[in-house]
Amino acid sequence: MKVRVQNDVVVEILQPIPGFSIEQSFHPDLLATCFDADSTVQAGWIHNGDGTFRHPDDPAPEPAPAPVVVEEPEPDTPSPMFTPPATIEPPVEGT
């Protein structure tokens, strides 16, 4: 079954003409804007954005936590917080 969604809400359920496929029953441009849904989905249900649907009275799913990315410096790369004394140049006099 295909459903048409506006503003994350199912506004139309597309059923094929008896004896024809959904592709034979509707124009491809219309079908391109629709989502696949199982037979439990009804008009007014909420599209979760990930291909799933929920009843309007059900709570919204919790968003996935953002991944934590920790970048380790290369082993031969000195830390930007520390400059070894051998690389510090003495001040030039007269400038």
Give the pLDDT of residue 45.
Answer: 93
Question: Using one digit for the tens of pLDDT, what is the confidence trace for 25-69?
Answer: 999 999 999 999 999 999 999 998 888 999 988 877 777 788 888
- Beginning with the edge strand found earlier in the chain, give each strand of the sheet holding 46-47 in spatial order: 34-36, 2-6, 9-14, 46-47, 53-54
- pLDDT reported for residue 82: 62
Confidence band of 19 (pLDDT split at 50, 70, 90) = very high
Distance from C-alpha of 55 to C-alpha of 43, rounded to nearest angstrom: 10
Q: How do residues 67-79 score in pLDDT, each as one tens digit?
A: 888 887 676 655 6
Tokens 């290369």 -> residue: 74
Residue of 44, 52, 53 whose CA lies nearest to 10: 44
